[in-house]
Amino acid sequence: MTAVIQVSGLVKRYGDHVAVRGVSFEVAQGEIFALLGRNGAGKTTTMEVLAGFQRPDAGTVRVLGLDPVADRERVRRGVGVMLQEAGFFPDLTVAATVDSWRDFVPAARPRDEALELAGLTGKARTRVRQLSGGEKRRLDLALALLGRPDLLFLDEPTTGMDPEARRNTWEVVRGLARRGTSVLLTTHYLDEAQRLADSMAIMDRGGIVARGGMAETLASRTGRVAFELPAGVEPAELPIPVTALDGRTAICRVADLDTAARDLMAWAAARGVRPRGLEVRQATLEDLFLDLAAGDAGPAADEADGVDKTDDKEVA
């Protein structure tokens, strides 16, 4: 595995406030990696250090094998960055904005290609101030793609986009990854992270509380069977243990979904009742988040490296 990002024991402070407390992770070439966590968890700070905008206070960071501070220029050439706050000139058109950026990017993509990739072809003549929030994010994406980067940093790339634009953006990102571009993504949309990312790390208060391959991590978590309790049936009578009740909806967390669903249907047939609204599904990223919030990091192994060993756990 060639790692395009290597972070080891990264610490970043703002005055007395420790924003990132000893995090370690790697991103492989061609991988889409999601950095997740609540507001203020330290995701943007981590990304800014990786992009060379901030200097680490401790730990080592390598991006495309280089030090993003010492080798700033070389790192910049290989990396496309889409951070949260874009500084556009509101009176320029979209086309003029892209053209003005192209002047600073060696071997830049043609303007129309960048606009097409970001789904902005029809907006080339529109002034930036007339763009919607989601369209501005697409313009950010177009600019991040100008230099044909080997590695893309996307900080909440789909915020403000409508569902169709989000899906289009996912397709663009997937297409880039298929052609070998590596992507570090932050997002508050857990469905987005689950669909898009190959691997992830969840940050909380500056540390990593869970990380691993997306599919393996979710497959290793307990699945969920939910249904409406049939009239006259008490939870204790059911063949599978009920973990939570939401009104009359019974929620069962089970390791073996197939067996649980079969047992439930066999019991219901024998009892002559129907579990309405039956939903059987694997764990989602949202389930994992809720478990973490409740203090359960799942099947975890202590991290060997990093400053903050106590709360950095591998989950897959």
Ligand X SMILES: Nc1ncnc2c1ncn2[C@@H]1O[C@H](COP(=O)(O)OP(=O)(O)OP(=O)(O)O)[C@@H](O)[C@H]1O
Rounded to a whole number of angstroms, the minimum distance from the CB of residue 17 to ligand X is 6
79-99 burial by CB neighbour count: b if 16+ within 10 A, else e?
bbbbbeeeebeeeebbbbbbe
How is the beta sheet containing 3-14 ordered, strand by strand? 17-28, 3-14, 58-63
Contact 149, 78 (CB under 8 A): yes
**Residue 45 in contact with ligand X, rule: CB under 6 A:** yes
Rounded to a whole number of angstroms, the minimum distance from the CB of residue 119 to ligand X is 24
End-to-end CA separation in angstroms for the chain: 18
Cβ-based nearer residue to ligand X, 42 or 306: 42
Cβ-based nearer residue to ligand X, 56 or 275: 56
Cβ-based nearer residue to ligand X, 14 or 89: 14
**Residue 43 in contact with ligand X, rule: CB under 6 A:** yes
Rounded to a whole number of angstroms, the minimum distance from the CB of residue 280 to ligand X is 32
Helix (H) or strand (E) holding 281, with range, is strand 276-281
**Residue 14 in contact with ligand X, rule: CB under 6 A:** yes
**Residue 41 in contact with ligand X, rule: CB under 6 A:** yes
Rounded to a whole number of angstroms, the minimum distance from the CB of residue 193 to ligand X is 13
**Residue 18 in contact with ligand X, rule: CB under 6 A:** no
Residue 30 — φ and ψ, nearest 5°? 80, 5
Cβ-based nearer residue to ligand X, 192 or 226: 192
C-alpha–C-alpha distance, residues 176 and 179, integer Å: 5
**Residue 22 in contact with ligand X, rule: CB under 6 A:** no
Cβ-based nearer residue to ligand X, 101 or 189: 189
Binding test (CB under 6 A) with ligand X, winner from 9, 40, 65, 213: 40
Contact 248, 229 (CB under 8 A): yes
Binding test (CB under 6 A) with ligand X, winner from 37, 207, 212, 275: 37
Quote the DSSP letter at residue 110: P
Please count the CA atoms within 13 angstroms of the CA of 93 that sit on its side-chain side.
Answer: 12
* Interacting residues with ligand X (CB under 6 A): 14, 17, 19, 37, 39-45
